[in-house]
């Protein structure tokens, strides 16, 4: 009840004309930031932070968080239309979004990202409104062993991801793991695989790798086939919206899993929307009735990833608001903003600065509603971009990718790496190696290794730490079952089959 | 004043002449009182977005903008990676450039030693120190340990699990220092990626103790965490009862530099301009409030004083690092 009263007061603040205007501008800028590859929500928020110094704190946080909501929506657009991830968390959306768009259903693919994404965000905001403090307390119980268990789960859902040869899947993932280990090792402080090249100390960026391998690789391939993009048609009528809602209803299990999983992973400090979207994809595929359709435009592939990414985005702000701990890099930049606006982050903020906190929560509802409306209106415009002749569009996309790669770390090295990864992506496609395991290993490999080694330091080198802590034990146990399921299932089936004939003569 | 500006132009021309071998740019125009940046200043941050250094840089550039202290914007640019090595290499390559400055933290001194890099503090132009960041010794509120004496007794019995930011950086350095001075069992030191995560792991009881900067963990004080001591030289006015480690009989003081450097051979006029500008930022109430709330020691040093101080700090870090056996 108290939450409802607070929320009502928050809405009073958030719907003041000034704050509504600020929110609209924020969402609009956010969508643009989301669309531009490489320029992530974090950089966007950081770049626009100075604009907030003259605003009252509540308007400032409304502005920044609305940029974030906009970027969460916008990231999907570039992924689906061009196979170039607009944001790290929209890499997984490409797996099915792009094939669907290429198949001539760009409008539908975008709607499938936006509407479930919005509904997921809405559910996540409800959870945020009513359960923020207790959820934050539970999140604190997740230490390195629990984080490791979750990441292990993410990998286990991905064992069946590569189509075709399992050896090729393993090779692709192994390459990702090797590249993930390049740089300064956080546990020992030693450089690994840098060959005394200073710039390699910062390692390979997963963003550059995925823009290159997917985006540039795709362009190289289509240039070879014939220089044009298929599937230029993209209009979203009311009928499409209705179809999308019905489609989401049919995949309700996938949608709910994505939303809840995404939200919780977002709440945990140090993980974020990117692993959430990959895990949701893996799970959706594992439990789909048509896993073979994944990767060629399955609606579940889009629904699961986008709903996870958007609810994780909301979840990531929860530890920031309740505890003053950044749940994601974007939240960390916003926390820095709090100091400049003259507020002190921490648990006291929730109690002492009610206007600020509830104004922010109310603006989440408003910002996300604005985001989905804006994006749906813009779909025909974005889809029209695909009608630009390929000889003009292709160089523009490459230019945009190069700028995006540069923006990741502000280094020209990443632009060269973009081309290298582009060539790699092309070779992978030609030789039928799956790309997804490569990027998943690159992005999650680092985090997983870190969590594993932190846990082992805590336990003095003993693996029992993963079985003596209840949450970690459950996670690891499920992950192990999932890992061996593909191997065990045929074995179990064979046992059953051989048991039956054996039983038959006796009966 | 007129003579001054002539000297500036001459200096710039000489730089251009020497480095490019061409006299192409003219810097005259209406004679100005002193050197001022003529294009946006690249404000390099040797850490990622959201970290401590990032916050300071964005605070400073924000205040410059808010109070209109400079004719051009200061654009924060993160060059993270390699514990600062990437940023240092970049700024080293900007020799003589008057439009690039870098905000630093202790890794500015430690990374070149740890990684045996081909450059160190001597290559950069010291501009000014703006603050010294403090370190407290923290435990969870529910921990039975309530003071440093009990902490030491426990840590002599068994290896305690502690957490900090990164590996072979300031947090681990302090714990290692503590270990040496008090004869403790080697800590099980768990490295995390950022100070916020370290604080979360203390509050969540994943680790038993940390040496977080006040700004990172004060939000949980006093409900969830307890402060046992400060590693500063003197007590803080915000916590008059909090004893220093030295008072408690352990000669361990450590503070982290929050300072600004320029590239090698930065023109003196530019250096002095930035030092003057940072002094103005330092004197702002907004900045002083920020320092006070986060228990940073306000200590301003101009270029010469800062340069001498950094040299002393470098030698100190080298000593501790060698003693800890991180570098042979």
Q: Which of B54, B67, B201, B225 to mutate to test the interface with A (most CBs of A within 10 A)?
A: B201
**Are B114 and B262 members of one domain?**
yes
Asked if residue B244 belongs to a domain, the reply is: no
User: Which one, of B311, B173, B324, B310, lies nearest residue B253 by Cα?
Assistant: B173
CA B271, B272, B274, B275 torsion: positive or negative?
positive
**Are B16 and B156 members of one domain?**
no
Contacts of B242 (CB under 8 A, 6+ apart): B136, B227, B229, B230, B235, B236
Q: Report yes or no: A489 at the B interface, CB cutoff 8 Å.
A: no
Angstrom distance (rounded) from CA A125 to CA A131: 10
Cβ pair B83:A189 closer than 8 A: yes
Contact list, A203 vs chain B (CB under 8 Å):
81
Between residues 347 and 406 of chain A, which touch chain B (CB distance below 8 Å)? 347-349
* Token output for A449: 């290794």
Cis before A195 (ω within 30): no
Phi and psi (nearest 5°) for A184? -80, 120
CA A415, A416, A420, A423 torsion: positive or negative?
positive
Cβ pair B196:A188 closer than 8 A: no
Angstrom distance (rounded) from CA B239 to CA B8: 47
* Chain centroid, CA A294 distance in Å: 18
Q: What is the pLDDT of residue B41?
A: 95
Of A189, A201, A450, the CB nearest to B168: A189
**Are B164 and B91 members of one domain?**
no
Cα dist. A494→A481, A488, A497 in Å? 18, 10, 5
What is the β-pairing status of strands B209-210 and B41-45? unpaired
Contact list, B213 vs chain A (CB under 8 Å):
none
**Are B107 and B140 members of one domain?**
no
Determine the distance in angstroms separating the CA of A423 from the nearest CA of chain B, rounded to an integer.
Answer: 25
Between residues 176 and 205 of chain A, which touch chain B (CB distance below 8 Å)? 183-189, 191, 198-199, 201-203
Q: What is the pLDDT of residue B206?
A: 95
Which residue of chain B is at minimal alpha-carbon distance from A139? Answer: B204
Asked if residue B7 belongs to a domain, the reply is: yes
User: What residue segments make up the domains of chain A, in order of their start?
Assistant: 2-499
Contact list, A457 vs chain B (CB under 8 Å):
161, 188-190
**End of a domain among B214, B230, B246?**
B230
B121: DSSP letter: G
The one-digit pLDDT tens for each residue of chain A (507 residues) are: 788 999 999 999 999 999 999 999 999 999 999 988 877 788 888 888 878 878 899 999 999 999 999 999 999 998 998 898 888 888 999 999 999 988 878 888 999 999 999 999 999 999 999 999 899 888 888 999 999 998 888 888 776 555 667 788 889 999 999 999 999 888 888 899 999 888 888 889 888 999 999 999 988 888 887 655 554 455 666 777 888 888 888 999 999 999 999 999 989 876 778 888 998 998 898 888 888 888 889 999 999 999 999 999 999 899 888 887 776 778 878 887 887 787 877 777 878 888 899 999 999 999 999 999 999 988 888 777 777 887 888 888 899 899 888 888 888 899 999 999 999 999 998 999 988 889 889 988 888 999 999 999 999 999 999 999 999 999 999 888 887 776 777 777 787 777 665 544 443
Phi and psi (nearest 5°) for B130? -110, -25
User: Which one, of A398, A413, A101, A100, lies nearest residue A220 by Cα?
Assistant: A398
**Are B68 and B27 members of one domain?**
no
Contact list, A342 vs chain B (CB under 8 Å):
286, 289
Asked if residue B251 belongs to a domain, the reply is: no
Phi and psi (nearest 5°) for A496? -60, -45
**Are B128 and B143 members of one domain?**
no
For B53-66, letters b (16+ CB in 10 Å) and e give bbbbbbbbbbbbbe
Angstrom distance (rounded) from CA B252 to CA B82: 27
Contacts of A137 (CB under 8 A, 6+ apart): none
Between residues 60 and 89 of chain A, which touch chain B (CB distance below 8 Å)? none
Q: What is the pLDDT of residue A222?
A: 81
Between residues 405 and 424 of chain A, which touch chain B (CB distance below 8 Å)? 409-411
Cα dist. B272→A266, A492, B193, B277, B288 in Å? 46, 77, 35, 8, 22
Q: What is the pLDDT of residue B24?
A: 38
At residue A36, the 3 state secondary structure works out as coil
Q: Which residues in chain B land under pLDDT 70? A: 1-33
Cβ pair A198:B293 closer than 8 A: no
Asked if residue B198 belongs to a domain, the reply is: yes
Q: Which of A44, A54, A326 to mutate to test the interface with B (most CBs of B within 10 A)?
A: A326
Determine the distance in angstroms separating the CA of A140 from the nearest CA of chain B, rounded to an integer.
Answer: 5
Q: What is the pLDDT of residue B5?
A: 40
Q: Which residue has the tokens 């509802």?
A: A365
Q: Which of B215, B219, B288 to mutate to test the interface with A (most CBs of A within 10 A)?
A: B219
**Are B202 and B190 members of one domain?**
yes
β partners of residue B298:
B131
In total, how many domains does chain B have? Answer: 3
Phi and psi (nearest 5°) for B190? -100, 115
- For residue B225, the domain's CATH number is 3.40.190.10
Provide the residue range defining the domain that includes B10.
1-34
* Token output for A40: 């992530």
Angstrom distance (rounded) from CA B24 to CA B19: 12
Contact list, B200 vs chain A (CB under 8 Å):
140, 269, 319, 323, 325
- For residue B76, the domain's CATH number is 3.40.190.150
Asked if residue B121 belongs to a domain, the reply is: yes
Q: Report yes or no: A56 at the B interface, CB cutoff 8 Å.
A: no
């Amino acid at each position: 009840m108290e939450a409802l009263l607070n929320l009502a007061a928050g809405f009073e603040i958030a719907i003041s004309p000034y704050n509504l205007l600020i929110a609209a501008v924020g969402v609009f800028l956010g969508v643009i930031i989301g669309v531009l590859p490489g320029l992530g929500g974090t950089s966007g928020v950081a770049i626009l932070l100075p604009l907030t110094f003259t605003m009252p704190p509540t308007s400032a946080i409304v502005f920044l968080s609305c940029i974030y909501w906009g970027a969460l929506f916008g990231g999907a657009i570039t992924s689906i239309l061009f196979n170039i991830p607009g944001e790290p968390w929209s890499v997984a959306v490409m797996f099915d979004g792009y094939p669907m768009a290429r198949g001539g259903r760009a409008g539908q693919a975008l709607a499938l990202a936006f509407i479930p994404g919005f509904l997921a965000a809405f559910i996540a905001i409800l959870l945020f409104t009513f359960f923020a403090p207790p959820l934050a307390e539970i999140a604190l119980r997740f230490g390195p062993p629990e984080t490791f268990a979750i990441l292990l789960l993410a990998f286990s859902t991905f064992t069946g991801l590569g189509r075709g040869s399992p050896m090729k899947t393993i090779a692709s993932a192994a390459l990702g793991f090797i590249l993930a280990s390049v740089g300064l090792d956080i546990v020992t402080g030693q450089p690994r695989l840098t060959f005394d090249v200073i710039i390699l100390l910062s390692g390979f960026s997963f963003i550059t790798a995925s823009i290159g391998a997917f985006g540039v690789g795709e362009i190289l391939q289509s240039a070879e086939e014939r220089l044009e993009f298929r599937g230029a048609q993209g209009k979203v009528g009311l009928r499409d919206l209705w179809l999308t809602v019905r489609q989401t209803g049919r995949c309700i299990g996938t949608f709910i899993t994505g939303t809840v999983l995404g939200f919780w992973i977002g709440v945990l400090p140090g993980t974020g929307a990117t692993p959430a979207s990959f895990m949701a994809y893996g799970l959706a595929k594992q439990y789909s009735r048509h896993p073979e359709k994944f990767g060629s435009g399955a609606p579940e592939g889009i629904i699961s990833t986008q709903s996870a990414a958007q609810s994780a985005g909301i979840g990531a702000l929860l530890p920031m608001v309740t505890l003053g701990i950044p749940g994601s890099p974007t939240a960390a930049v916003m926390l820095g903003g709090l100091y400049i606006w003259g507020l002190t982050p921490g648990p006291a903020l929730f109690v002492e600065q009610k206007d600020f906190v509830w104004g922010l929560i109310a603006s989440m509802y408003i910002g996300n509603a604005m985001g989905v409306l804006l994006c749906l209106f813009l779909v025909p415009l974005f889809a029209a971009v695909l009608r630009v002749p390929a000889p003009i569009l292709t160089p523009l996309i490459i230019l945009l990718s190069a700028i995006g790669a540069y923006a990741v770390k502000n280094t020209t090295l990443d632009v060269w790496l973009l081309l290298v990864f582009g060539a790699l992506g092309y070779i992978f496609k030609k030789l039928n190696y799956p790309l997804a395991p490569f990027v998943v290993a690159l992005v999650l490999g680092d985090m997983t290794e870190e969590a594993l080694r932190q846990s082992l330091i805590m336990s003095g080198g003993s693996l029992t730490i993963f079985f003596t802590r209840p949450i970690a034990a459950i996670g690891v146990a499920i992950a192990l079952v999932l890992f061996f399921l593909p191997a065990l299932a045929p074995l179990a089936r064979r046992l059953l089959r051989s048991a039956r004939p054996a039983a038959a003569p006796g009966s | 004043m007129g003579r001054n500006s002539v000297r500036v132009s001459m200096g710039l021309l000489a730089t251009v002449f020497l480095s490019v071998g061409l006299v192409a740019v003219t810097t005259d125009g209406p004679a100005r009182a002193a050197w001022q940046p003529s294009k946006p200043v690249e404000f390099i941050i040797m850490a990622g977005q959201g970290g401590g250094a990032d916050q300071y840089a964005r605070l400073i550039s924000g205040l410059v903008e808010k109070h209109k202290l400079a004719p051009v914007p200061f654009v924060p640019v993160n060059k993270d990676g390699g514990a600062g090595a990437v940023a240092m290499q970049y700024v080293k390559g900007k020799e003589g450039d008057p439009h690039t400055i870098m905000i630093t933290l202790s890794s500015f001194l430690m990374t070149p030693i740890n990684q045996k890099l081909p450059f160190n503090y001597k290559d950069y132009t010291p501009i000014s120190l703006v603050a010294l960041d403090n370190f407290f010794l923290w435990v969870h509120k529910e921990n039975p340990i309530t003071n440093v004496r009990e902490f030491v007794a426990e840590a002599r019995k068994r290896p305690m699990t502690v957490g900090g930011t990164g590996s072979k950086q300031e947090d681990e350095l302090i714990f290692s220092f503590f270990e040496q001075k008090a004869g403790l069992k080697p800590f099980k030191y768990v490295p995390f990626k950022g100070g916020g995560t370290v604080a979360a792991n203390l509050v969540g009881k994943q680790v038993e103790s940390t040496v977080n900067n006040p700004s990172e963990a004060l939000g949980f004080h006093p409900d969830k965490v307890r402060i046992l001591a400060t590693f500063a030289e003197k007590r803080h006015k915000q916590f008059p009862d909090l004893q220093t480690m030295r008072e408690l009989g352990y000669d361990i003081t450590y503070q982290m530099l929050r300072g600004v450097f320029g590239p090698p051979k930065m023109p003196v006029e530019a250096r002095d301009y930035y030092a003057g500008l940072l002094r103005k930022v330092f004197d702002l109430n907004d900045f002083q409030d920020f320092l006070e709330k986060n228990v940073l020691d306000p200590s301003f040093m101009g270029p010469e004083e800062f340069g001498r101080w950094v040299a002393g700090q470098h030698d100190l870090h080298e000593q501790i690092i060698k003693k800890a056996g991180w570098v042979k």
